[in-house]
């Protein structure tokens, strides 16, 4: 076990300790005891900055199935591990001040949070797809638990259930995609699959694998149309929203896309699905964010939109694989922008969530219609919010500006592509990106100005607002400082983090000795991107000022024309449909179940007889038919028909007895004296028992004739007859009875072969048959003598 | 109540012995001729049923003071012991041995352990038939 494995397992081990810590160290807020875990992990991963070569460690788990807990640290996983542990540490710090020791169940909170942290580290560090899937589902489960943390609230339960259903749906289809990849390459190791990328892209299962895996990535990363769970997940405590639903878990899908880019990149399916859905999500998320009135709602839709942005950049960036060298390869910039924006988004969105949490905590509401004028009361919070929102809107001098410029560059380049039918659709890319940026600007402005400027409405606020304690402000301040720092000195990141990450995402572009030259410039001249940004800002200001006038367009679509409505109606209808099917099929009527069983019997055996062609109707093995047999057969048929059509029960019993005695006559004819004797006596006893039952039967009306029952019974009869004739006609092997004939006397000292077989050759069968008889007798004895009177009858009397 | 059953009861007294004798014949003949434990047992049971019909439950119980559930258990036990016996000398379960021996009265006869097994079957069949009929007969 290496240190990397320990880093993944440390949160899990700590999660086991939390209940003990909580119980025995009651004076200290449990969060303080948890805080060292993410800090330690963060410090550990810092040593890999500027990583030159990937590092791999393996522990066998299920070696016979090719499942090994193997961990790879390359640029991409290092970036994510730093994000997870770094923001994790800040969130734990923030939660110490956010969650009160008195009123909240801290034990569950930190257990779930640690579980999530470990699972997320496992997702980004695993090289084995099945191990990755295991951790992936663990993130779904721990996220489910965290969303439902306040489990007494209806909205928490609804949000948790919704996110669970959607992400587990995606997770399962992702598993299917992984299995398809295994089918193609014969390995679960990402590294080895990348080495066989040619085989994968040529394979006929390729498209299916892409769709299944992207379903997993899109549901987890809240892409269109699966984003609907994210706004409802805002019912979680704010530290959870900041951590899971902005910085880490929702980026798991993006991680998956980036991780598998070396396998799928360069194909039209991957390019169009990833960038297309990314762009739609980008636009739709930003468009929807403007109409939200809840601060966390705005941030949720903003997250959706920004994730779409990153996703679309990875999609466009995958086109760069089609150009050979990294010299003059204009499309690498898209991937660079994606990675850069990933970091930026984690920083500013984390800080914004924490700010919103502070506002909520200090005023008691998150509704922007009630908020306003908090600037003077909460200056530090306001500053942090301003920095975060500025970065989100893409204003200089923050880091969001840089990545937004690079985003525009990437999209403009994408419009110049001349394959994947981009000649016709290409212009849509920069246009949608630009439009979405305007909306982003508008909601960022709303977020800050509606909350912090304007008139203070003290009467509407549940609490009297004041500045938050320093401990609560510490985490957002650190993140805001990072926003500014990365804004001014972006090259701090470029060689230590972005370059190794690029090498991990686009390894095929590197010839030996080549390296990516990542240099992020603040000022790159009067380019078209700059003019786009200027247009975004001016149109955004115009849009903010006139928002009341044009916000009517949100009412154009009818109320139930939303994806949420589709989801809710879907759930309700599935339940209704299932209940309807069950009520139809499971009526409790034995007669109906027998109908199903016989219908299934007829179709299965009938189809098998017809399709597999074992049907052979000929009478090679048949003996001669004697007159006596014919007479007996006719009488037997007559008795059988009488049993069916008679109106009186007594007649039915007696004609059934007739059938039995006739059968024993047949045994006589076919020379089976033992059978004939036994049949005679058994038939007598069973007729006597029937007569006994007959005395006690209630006087029920005979049911009317029904055609379908006749058809089913005729069908069963025909199928069995055809099967018996075919079986007799196609005798494959000689019967073994010759052995018995030859050896009955020699081996077993008997001349009655039937009896010798019963007691000697196949004595075990007989042993258990007499056991069956014994059990039947005991059962009858118990049923009759130990009659337990049903309780309701006693009470009725 | 059963005042008029003189004829039936008298005939029963004679016939029951014939039936039982026949059933014992069927049982012993089983290995060589049609018959065996199953039919023999049923036949013996039918003799007892005839007794039940001619007399009443109490009388039959007094004449044959047997608990037929125990008869069933004894039969099963005999069958299982016949099976387990050979395992003691290392043979598979239910291996039968046979030999021809000189018996007094009967002369040279074939004896086989399969006969013991059949005896188990015989007792089980008597036991279960009588248990069922007595139980149903006693219930109201």
DSSP conformation letters of A394-430:
T-TTSHHHHHHHHHHHHHHHHHT--STTHHHHTTHHH
What average pLDDT is seen over chain A? 86
Give the residue numbers in A contacting B (CB under 8 Å), as ranges.
Answer: 673-674, 677-678, 681-682, 685, 689, 692, 748-752, 754-756, 758-760, 763-764, 766-767, 770-771, 773-774, 776-778, 780-781, 784-785
Closest CA to A206 of A258, A273, A256, A253: A273
What residues contact residue A694 under an 8 Å CB cut-off, 6+ apart?
A649, A650, A653
**pLDDT confidence of residue A560:** 64
Q: Which two tokens stand for residue A699?
A: 């006087």
Strands B98-103 and B107-112: antiparallel
CB contacts, 8 Å: A678 with chain B: 38-39, 42
What average pLDDT is seen over chain B? 86
- Name the packing angle between helices A36-46 and A106-125 (round to 10°): 20
Q: In the predicted model, is pLDDT for residue A736 greater than 60?
A: yes
Separation between Cα atoms, residue A78 and residue A55, nearest integer Å: 10
Q: In the predicted model, is pLDDT for residue A668 greater than 90?
A: yes
Are the Cβ atoms of A752 and B32 closer than 8 angstroms? yes
User: Which whole number is the average pLDDT over A593-609?
Assistant: 92
For residue A57, the 8-state DSSP code is: E
Are the Cβ atoms of B35 and A774 closer than 8 angstroms? no
Pick A678's closest partner by Cβ from B38, B76, B129.
Answer: B38
CB contacts, 8 Å: A766 with chain B: 79, 117, 121
Question: Cβ(A504)–Cβ(A77) under 8 Å?
Answer: yes
Are the Cβ atoms of A760 and B33 closer than 8 angstroms? no
Are the Cβ atoms of B114 and A748 closer than 8 angstroms? yes
Name A67's bridge partners. Answer: A62
**pLDDT confidence of residue A788:** 66
What residues contact residue A762 under an 8 Å CB cut-off, 6+ apart?
none
Torsion sign across C-alpha atoms A277, A280, A282, A285: negative
pLDDT grade for A515, boundaries at 50, 70 and 90: low
Torsion of CA A601, A603, A606, A607, to 10 degrees: -130
User: Which whole number is the average pLDDT over A633-647?
Assistant: 91
**pLDDT confidence of residue A489:** 83
Q: Which two tokens stand for residue A412?
A: 């403009």
A203: left (phi over 0), alpha (psi -120 to 50) or beta: beta
Lowest mean pLDDT among A33-37, A609-613, A682-686, A755-759: A609-613
CB contacts, 8 Å: A682 with chain B: 42
Are the Cβ atoms of A777 and B30 closer than 8 angstroms? no
**pLDDT confidence of residue A329:** 67
Are the Cβ atoms of B36 and A755 closer than 8 angstroms? yes
Q: What are the phi and psi torsion angles at A728 (to 5°)?
A: -70, -35
Lowest mean pLDDT among A120-124, A282-286, A418-422, A763-767: A418-422
Closest CA in chain B for residue A771: B76
Lowest mean pLDDT among A520-534, A645-659, B83-97: A520-534
CB contacts, 8 Å: B23 with chain A: none
- The CA-based angle A630-A635-A641, given to 5 degrees, is 125
Tell me the C-alpha to C-alpha distance, in Å, between residue A147 and each of A35, A333, A688: 21, 36, 69
Q: In the predicted model, is pLDDT for residue B87 greater than 90?
A: no
Q: What are the phi and psi torsion angles at B55 (to 5°)?
A: -105, -150
A793/B14: higher pLDDT = B14
**pLDDT confidence of residue A565:** 86
What residues contact residue A207 under an 8 Å CB cut-off, 6+ apart?
A269
Q: Which two tokens stand for residue A234?
A: 């805002």
Neighbours of A751 (CB within 10 A): 14
pLDDT grade for B14, boundaries at 50, 70 and 90: very high
pLDDT per residue over A128-162, tens digit each? 999 999 999 999 999 999 999 988 889 899 999 99
Neighbours of A28 (CB within 10 A): 12
CB contacts, 8 Å: A784 with chain B: 135-136, 139
Neighbours of A396 (CB within 10 A): 17
Interface-testing mutation among B121, B122, B134, B139, with chain A (most A C-beta atoms within 10 A): B121
Question: Cβ(A541)–Cβ(A438) under 8 Å?
Answer: no
pLDDT per residue over A440-496, tens digit each? 999 998 888 888 887 777 777 777 777 778 888 888 899 999 988 888 888 877 778
Question: Cβ(A503)–Cβ(A75) under 8 Å?
Answer: yes
Q: Which two tokens stand for residue A782?
A: 């118990």
**pLDDT confidence of residue A47:** 86
> To which residue do tokens 């009306």 refer?
A701
Torsion of CA A271, A274, A276, A277, to 10 degrees: 170
Are the Cβ atoms of B33 and A751 closer than 8 angstroms? yes
**What proportion of chain A, given as a percentage, has pLDDT over 90?**
30
Count contacts between A and B (CB, < 8 Å).
Answer: 128
**pLDDT confidence of residue A177:** 93
Q: Chain A: nearest CA to B61, how far in angstroms? A: 17
Lowest mean pLDDT among A46-60, A239-253, A284-298, A655-669: A46-60
Separation between Cα atoms, residue A672 and residue A353, nearest integer Å: 89
User: Which whole number is the average pLDDT over A359-371?
Assistant: 84
Torsion of CA A191, A196, A197, A202, to 10 degrees: -160
pLDDT grade for A728, boundaries at 50, 70 and 90: confident
pLDDT per residue over B26-35, tens digit each? 998 888 888 8
Closest CA to A252 of A145, A88, A124, A351: A124
Are the Cβ atoms of B39 and A681 closer than 8 angstroms? yes
User: Which whole number is the average pLDDT over B101-123?
Assistant: 80
pLDDT per residue over B90-101, tens digit each? 888 888 877 777
Neighbours of A541 (CB within 10 A): 13
User: Which whole number is the average pLDDT over A393-403?
Assistant: 84
Q: In the predicted model, is pLDDT for residue A794 greater than 60?
A: no
Lowest mean pLDDT among A16-30, A209-223, A435-449: A16-30
Q: Chain B: nearest CA to A671, how far in angstroms? A: 11
**What proportion of chain B, given as a percentage, has pLDDT over 70?**
94
Are the Cβ atoms of B128 and A774 closer than 8 angstroms? yes
Q: E strands within A12-123?
A: 55-62, 67-73
pLDDT per residue over A420-436, tens digit each? 666 677 778 888 888 89
**pLDDT confidence of residue A797:** 45
ipTM metric: 0.91
């Amino acid at each position: 076990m290496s240190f990397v494995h320990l880093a993944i397992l440390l949160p899990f081990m700590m999660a086991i300790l939390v209940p003990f810590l909580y119980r025995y160290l009651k004076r200290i807020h449990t969060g303080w005891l948890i805080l060292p875990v993410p800090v330690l992990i963060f410090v550990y991963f810092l040593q890999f900055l500027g990583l030159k070569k990937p590092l791999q460690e393996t522990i066998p788990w299920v070696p016979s199935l090719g499942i090994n807990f193997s961990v790879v640290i390359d640029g991409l996983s290092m970036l994510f591990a730093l994000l997870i542990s770094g923001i994790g540490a800040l969130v734990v710090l923030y939660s110490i001040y956010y969650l009160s020791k008195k009123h909240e169940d801290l034990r569950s909170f930190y257990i779930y949070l640690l579980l999530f942290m470990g699972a997320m580290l496992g997702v980004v560090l695993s090289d084995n797809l099945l191990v990755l899937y295991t951790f992936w589902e663990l993130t779904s489960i721990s996220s489910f638990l965290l969303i439902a943390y306040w489990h007494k609230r209806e909205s928490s339960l609804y949000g948790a259930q919704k996110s669970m259903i959607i992400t587990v749906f995606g997770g399962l289809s992702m598993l299917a995609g992984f299995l398809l990849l295994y089918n193609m390459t014969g390995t679960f190791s990402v590294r080895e699959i990348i080495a066989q990328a040619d085989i994968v892209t040529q394979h006929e299962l390729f498209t299916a694998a892409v769709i299944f895996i992207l379903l997993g990535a899109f549901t987890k990363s809240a892409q269109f149309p699966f984003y609907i769970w994210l706004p409802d997940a805002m019912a979680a405590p704010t530290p959870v929203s900041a951590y899971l639903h902005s910085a880490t878990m929702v980026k798991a899908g993006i991680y998956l896309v980036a991780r598998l880019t070396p396998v799928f990149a360069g194909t039209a399916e991957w390019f169009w699905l990833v960038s297309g859905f990314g762009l739609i999500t980008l636009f739709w998320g930003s468009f929807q964010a403007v109409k939200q009135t809840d601060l966390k709602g705005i941030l949720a839709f903003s997250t959706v939109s920004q994730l779409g942005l990153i996703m679309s950049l990875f999609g466009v960036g995958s086109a760069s694989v089609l150009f050979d060298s990294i010299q003059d390869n204009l499309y690498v910039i898209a991937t660079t922008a994606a990675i850069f924006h990933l970091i930026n988004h984690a920083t500013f969105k984390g800080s914004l969530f924490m700010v919103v949490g502070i506002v909520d905590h200090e005023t008691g509401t998150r509704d922007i219609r009630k908020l306003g004028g908090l600037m003077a009361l909460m200056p530090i919070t306001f500053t942090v919010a301003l920095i975060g929102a500025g970065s989100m809107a893409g204003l200089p001098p923050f880091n969001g500006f840089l990545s937004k410029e690079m985003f525009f560059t990437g999209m403009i380049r994408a419009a110049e592509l001349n394959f994947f039918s981009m000649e016709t659709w290409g212009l849509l890319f920069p246009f949608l990106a630009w439009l979405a940026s305007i909306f982003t600007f508008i909601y960022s402005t709303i977020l800050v100005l509606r909350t912090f400027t304007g008139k203070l409405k003290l009467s509407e606020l549940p609490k009297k607002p004041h500045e938050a304690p320093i401990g609560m402000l510490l985490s957002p301040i650190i993140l805001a400082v990072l926003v500014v720092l990365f804004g001014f000195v972006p090259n701090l990141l470029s060689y230590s983090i972005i370059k190794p990450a690029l090498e991990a995402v686009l390894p095929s572009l590197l010839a030996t000795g080549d390296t990516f030259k990542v240099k992020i410039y603040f000022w790159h001249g009067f380019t078209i991107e700059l003019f786009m940004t200027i247009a975004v800002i001016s149109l955004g200001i115009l849009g903010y000022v006139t928002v009341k006038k044009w916000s009517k367009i949100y009412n154009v679509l009818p109320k139930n024309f939303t994806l949420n409505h589709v989801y809710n109606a879907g759930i309700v209808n599935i339940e209704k449909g299932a209940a309807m099917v069950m009520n139809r099929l499971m009526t409790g009527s034995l007669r109906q179940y027998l109908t199903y069983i016989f219908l299934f019997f007829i179709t299965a055996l009938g189809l098998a007889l017809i399709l597999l062609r074992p049907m052979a109707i000929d009478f090679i093995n048949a003996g001669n038919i004697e007159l006596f047999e014919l007479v007996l057969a006719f009488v037997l048929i007559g008795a059988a028909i009488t049993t069916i059509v008679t109106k009186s029960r007594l007649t039915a019993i007696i004609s059934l007895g007739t059938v039995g005695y006739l059968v024993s006559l047949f045994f006589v004819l076919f020379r089976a004296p033992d059978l004939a004797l036994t049949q005679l006596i058994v038939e007598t006893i069973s007729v006597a028992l029937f007569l006994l039952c007959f005395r006690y039967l209630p006087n029920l009306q005979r049911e009317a004739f029904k055609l379908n029952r006749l058809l089913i019974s005729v069908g069963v009869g025909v199928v069995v007859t055809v099967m018996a004739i075919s079986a007799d006609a196609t005798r494959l092997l000689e019967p073994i009875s010759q052995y018995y004939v030859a050896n009955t006397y020699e081996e077993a000292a008997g001349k009655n072969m039937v009896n010798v077989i019963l007691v000697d050759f196949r004595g075990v069968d007989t042993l258990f048959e007499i056991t069956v008889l014994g059990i039947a007798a005991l059962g009858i004895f118990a049923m009759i003598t130990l009659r337990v009177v049903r309780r309701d009858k006693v009470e009725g009397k | 109540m059963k005042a008029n059953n003189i004829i039936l009861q008298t005939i029963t007294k004679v016939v029951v012995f014939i039936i039982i004798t026949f059933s014992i014949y069927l049982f012993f003949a089983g290995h060589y001729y049609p018959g065996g434990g199953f039919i023999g047992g049923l036949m013996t049971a039918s003799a007892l049923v005839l007794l039940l019909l001619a007399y009443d439950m109490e009388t039959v119980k007094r004449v044959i003071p047997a608990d037929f559930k125990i008869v069933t258990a004894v039969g099963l036990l005999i069958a299982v012991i016949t099976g387990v016996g050979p395992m003691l000398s290392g043979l598979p379960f239910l291996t039968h041995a046979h030999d021809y021996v000189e018996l007094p009265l009967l002369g040279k006869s074939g004896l086989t352990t399969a006969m013991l097994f059949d005896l188990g079957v015989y007792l089980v069949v008597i036991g279960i038939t009588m248990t069922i009929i007595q139980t149903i007969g006693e219930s109201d």
